[in-house]
Structure 1
Amino acid sequence: MTRQQRHQEGARSSGRPAGSEEVALSADVRVWKISKVKSKKAPYQLRWTVAGKVKSCSFTTVALAESRRSELWQAMRRGEGFDVDTGLPESELRAAVAKANAKPDPNWWEFSREYMGVRWRSTAAKTREGLADSLATVAIAMAGEGAKAPEPEEVRLAVRWAVVPAHRGEEPPPELYPACSWLSTRSLSLSALTEPRVLRDVHYRLAFKLDDAPAAAETYKRRRRGFNTAMEYAVQEGYLAENPLAGVKRPGVSAGGGVVDPRVLVNETQGRQLLTAVSYVGSVHRNRGRRLVAFFGCMLYAAMRPAEVVGLEKARCYLPETGWGVLTLQETRPVAGKKWTDSGERHDKRGLKSREAAQDRPVPIPPVLVALLRGHIAEFGTAKGGRLFGNERGGLLGSSSYWRVWQEARELALPPDKVASPLARRPYDLRSTCITNWLRAGLPVAEVARRAGNSPEVIHRNYAGCLDDTEEDNNRKIEEAMGWGGPSASGQ
């Protein structure tokens, strides 16, 4: 290799542009013998030249000076070029550049705030809240140890406050100050996740609640998904060499979340009784329940998600006097909390789930729901922005409001044993009932998925156990297949 080739190769290796004077490499190197100078601290001096420029360094002992002289000679024998400015051989120059460019090893507190700051602008409010919950859950395992370590709940609240970008630079609330102060200095570093013990503790926190009871399968999946995306960012930024979560399974319990429990489904009579009971909730003058009969009807007869019903506008409803109508869904208004939304409102404004922002979803609705919606508009009109449903002041309907009405309606409509059962315990169970009814009616899975706003895979996975789930139906099918009972059996 010629001197010029070594110069160019060394410049490339150092990560600097070749040809510039400050990074020029040269093979013209001479190392002098060690000399003694008048210095009490470092009396032994080593001198060498690179392209005629004299370099020197001093040492406290002659052994150290000889060792450094040997390193320079070995670099010369390997044919390395030397940096004209610093006098360092190529290998040392590359190491110095790598060290200067190396990423720090932030603790979990610093990393969580950095990651949320990067993700904030491109994510919805509910996603932000979910990510914050994942980071806060992991923070419990990464909090460090000590006599004054904060309690898990204090850690969770402190991290959820700290990761909001708007809070950066602010003093934490007084009740969170001790935990924030501890975590900012005592949290484990990100590299600690490469230790099996720490990773096991983190994974346990993802899968279990603070009282050590197993978390719901969906909760675990959401937390793990948030932690996984954070680890992918850590790898991308060079903090970690690989994702520590890869290949780690949930400890102790199966994560089969999302599958619908047949016990939550209502039959036709129960559905009508529940909607009637909703109309009786609240005083006659305030109409607290009557305002929500059609709201719950949209879930029972159109499989709409609650956030989709909250955002439903009159302009997107085709409600003929007779026959089937159509609701064209395009907007959702999920509740996330003021600190997670860009607007500072409790409700976020988003497109449909798993769809492009401007994409809509037409849903045919039966005459019974058409009648409910026409009656609602005739009695209550519309809320602000042309929405069909609002609170008593015309604002966005909060989840706590319709949840309380639903719980009161269950007690009015159902006998005590059913009230204590999982039957329609959540308003969302009405959506599950509608999807199941469509499947039982024989609609193709792809069409059910289109109307419900899911993928066919999700419908297959979550609703398979809800079809033909009654013992009487199953027993009758067995009797028919085996030729037991009925006229054919009596003739044998």
Structure 2
Amino acid sequence: MTAVGNEQTSYLSDRQCFAILDRASEDLQKGLALQAFLASIALAALRPEEARVLRVRDVELVDDGTGWLMVHPQAQERGEKDSDRAGTVRRVPVCRELAAILQEETTRRDLRPDDAIFVLDNGRPLTAQVYRKTWQQARVAALQAHELNSPLGRHVSALRDARIAAWLKNGDQTAGHILAVAECAGMSAPRLAERFANCLRKPTRDEIPWARLEAALALPEPTQPTSTARRP
């Protein structure tokens, strides 16, 4: 069972994410578009505002069924301000599952390159008010009583947090890995490490390369002054 804490240290499990997504798709009036929208947050760790403005031209699919998203900066969710990444367009990898969802939605509605991907079937935009209301209803239907009384999954951005946490936990957690996750999430590495500190494996005392650290921090040996012969 997922440990319930505060929003900074507790994340939705895969079971909980899929349960909420399934419930959200039951809304017949906005189910397909909303399900695709939420999937883009859950599988690519997008901010809701970033996902909402995605256009067909922002999706690059390749022959093996994966692809990339060109994510443009938008107003960030609460608590995610990161001046180091402000104004940066980033490339986010697309897994096969998300690629299939995006392609199906594009084909279903016969979208053109400049069209927004996530628009309700009646032509109305997918506003924050719409997806937040559906999210809350799906959360109530999918989670257990003790989970509902906690901050777990209280906001749609919980899908993003769960994906970032999974990226961090399912890797070697080297500096390169953490930097790659930070880049995909649109955050600086220090901000990522601060917010998802509980997802980072803490090395044991024996794993810390003390000798190399001491060597790196050691002061250079003093050099002897070179004597110069005086002229007579």
Task: Please give the TM-score of this superposition, normalised by the length of structure 1.
Answer: 0.35
CA contact (8 A) 1:317 1:326 kept: yes
The Cα of 1:410 is off from its aligned counterpart by 1.2
1:407-437 per-position Cα deviation (integer Å, ceiling 9, x unaligned): 1111222233323322211101111111111
Q: Which residue identity is paired with 1:401?
A: V
Q: Which residue identity is paired with 1:432?
A: D
Q: Do the aligned partners of residues 320 and 449 (structure 1) sit closer, same or farther apart at CA in structure 2, a change above 3 Å counting? A: same
1:392-411 per-position Cα deviation (integer Å, ceiling 9, x unaligned): 55354221110001011112
The Cα of 1:290 is off from its aligned counterpart by 2.3
What corresponds to 2:59 in structure 1?
317
What corresponds to 1:423 in structure 2?
152
Structure 2: gaps spanning 5 or more residues: 1-5, 205-232
Secondary structure in 1 matching 2:187: coil
CA contact (8 A) 1:260 1:465 kept: no
Is structure 2 residue 26 aligned with structure 1 residue 275? no
Q: Do the aligned partners of residues 445 and 421 (structure 1) sit closer, same or farther apart at CA in structure 2, a change above 3 Å counting? A: same
What corresponds to 1:332 in structure 2?
74
Larger-Rg structure: 1
Q: How many residues align?
A: 190
**Which of 38, 42, 61 is matched with 1:300 structurally?**
42
Q: Do the aligned partners of residues 313 and 333 (structure 1) sit closer, same or farther apart at CA in structure 2, a change above 3 Å counting? A: farther
1:92-123 per-position Cα deviation (integer Å, ceiling 9, x unaligned): xxxxxxxxxxxxxxxxxxxxxxxxxxxxxxxx
Task: Please give the TM-score of this superposition, normalised by the length of structure 2.
Answer: 0.71
**Which of 357, 362, 367 is matched with 2:96 structurally?**
367
What corresponds to 1:262 in structure 2?
9
The Cα of 1:362 is off from its aligned counterpart by 0.5
Q: Which residue identity is paired with 1:270?
A: Q
The Cα of 1:460 is off from its aligned counterpart by 0.8
Where does 1:67-82 land on structure 2 (aligned, <5 Å)? none
> How far apart, CA to CA, are the structure 2 residues paired with 1:327 and 1:302?
9
1:162-217 per-position Cα deviation (integer Å, ceiling 9, x unaligned): xxxxxxxxxxxxxxxxxxxxxxxxxxxxxxxxxxxxxxxxxxxxxxxxxxxxxxxx
Q: Which residue identity is paired with 2:105?
A: H
Q: Do the aligned partners of residues 384 and 448 (structure 1) sit closer, same or farther apart at CA in structure 2, a change above 3 Å counting? A: closer
CA contact (8 A) 2:47 2:160 kept: yes
**Which of 159, 163, 166 is matched with 1:434 structurally?**
163
Structure 1: gaps spanning 5 or more residues: 1-258, 336-351, 470-476, 478-492
**Which of 383, 386, 390 is matched with 2:115 structurally?**
386
Flag the structure with higher helix content: 1
Q: Do the aligned partners of residues 386 and 464 (structure 1) sit closer, same or farther apart at CA in structure 2, a change above 3 Å counting? A: same
Where does 1:49-448 land on structure 2 (aligned, <5 Å)? 260-263=7-10, 265-281=11-27, 284=28, 286=29, 288-320=30-62, 322-332=64-74, 354-355=84-85, 357=87, 359-382=88-111, 385-442=114-171, 444-448=177-181
**Which of 179, 182, 189 is matched with 1:456 structurally?**
189
What corresponds to 2:222 in structure 1?
none
The Cα of 1:441 is off from its aligned counterpart by 1.3
CA contact (8 A) 2:65 2:100 kept: no
> How far apart, CA to CA, are the structure 1 residues paired with 2:69 and 2:86?
18
Q: Do the aligned partners of residues 321 and 416 (structure 1) sit closer, same or farther apart at CA in structure 2, a change above 3 Å counting? A: farther
What corresponds to 2:218 in structure 1?
none
